[in-house]
Amino acid sequence: MTENQRQSYTASEKLHIFDNEFFPQIDAMYNFAYRLTFDEDDAKDLVQDTYMKAFRFIESFQQGTNAKAWLFRILKNSFINDFRKKSKEPSKVDYQEVETFYNSDNLDEDITSDLRVDAVQDMIGDEVSNALNSLAVDFRTVIILCDLEGFTYEEMAKILDIPIGTVRSRLHRARNLLKEKLKSYAKSLGY
Amino acid sequence: MSSSNHVKDRFFKHINMNEIIEPEAYEKCMKLLPLVMDNEASQEDTSYFTRQIKNWPWVGEYMESEKAFRSIFKSKLAYKLVPDGLADIIKEKIRGNS
């Protein structure tokens, strides 16, 4: 069944889906919203807005499928359409050129940035968080989705509306950028 | 230099393919590496990869290092829990709209 096929739910079925499939995701949703907006009030508004939209469009959700990915997709779109405009977030990075390179066969040439694991171990959470937050939103998002939330490439491709190859290249690039940021902190710690 | 040429000069930069045992398999495995790390490779590819990387011990060492990094990175990021009352506000609105 495609996601465009609409379901027909009774009012009680809708509430059942909401309580049993949507609400258990609220912590992950809020965490994602906060890491996109950096602001508790904006994150709350974004989560509320997402749930209201999810309820309005619940008939395009098939019960028993991946509610978390479905909700994350709505949240991401709400962020882009409504919240990003008013935030101080720098405009999207122009990584098309980067992605063209990383989609090529050269992906394996630079496996990853060198970073000592024990340096990260000695950092406090704020330093690690700041490094993540300093990434452009599109890079930050793939790290959150993959490394924190455990989404697969396919799920991420659906959430972000991008091809799987782009997910892969963006993730590779994002992880290297993150490590470069962390290396700066590591240097300041004397590593 | 210690372990596997210090993890092949810290993560395989400027590797000399003439020194690599089974270079074709190595190239294939390098393409599979990120997929295996993210559990995105097929079972067949993962088995192939696991068998082959015994030829290049630094690859396995790099993977251990990367796994440790990802685990520490995740553990350092506090999970922002939803503020008290937000769930109730949303439920109330939903029930008001249903």
List of chain A residues with pLDDT < 70: 1-4, 85-114
Q: B36 — contact with chain A (CB < 8 Å)?
A: no
Cα B50 from Cα B54, distance rounded (Å): 7
**What pLDDT shows up at residue A21?**
95
Structure-token pair, residue A71: 């909700």
Quick one: which of B25, B73, B23 has its CA closest to A116? B73
Average pLDDT estimate for B80-94: 92
* Separation of alpha carbons B23 and A2, rounded Å: 43
Residue A130, min C-alpha distance to chain B (Å): 10
Return d(Cα A169, Cα A143) in angstroms, integer.
12
CA-based nearest distance B80→chain A, Å: 5
The ipTM of this complex is 0.82
Q: Is A189 on the interface with B (CB under 8 A)?
A: no
Is B97 in Cβ contact with A47 (below 8 Å)? Answer: no
- Copy the structure tokens of residue A132: 């993540």
User: If pLDDT is split at 50, 70 and 90, which confidence band does B79 have?
Assistant: confident
Which residues in chain A have their CB less than 8 angstroms from residue B35's CB? 168
Q: What pLDDT score was predicted for residue B81? A: 86
Give how far A126 is from chain B: nearest CA, Å: 8
Distance CA A99, CA B24 (A): 25
| Nearest chain B residue to A123, by CA | B76
What is the phi/psi pair of residue A189, to 5°?
Answer: -90, -5
Written as six digits, the tokens of A16 are 């059942």
DSSP H/E element including A112:
none
Instruction: Give the span between the Cα atoms of A13 and A172, in whole angstroms.
Output: 41
Closest residue in A to B93 (Cα) is: A52
Specify the pLDDT at position B98: 66
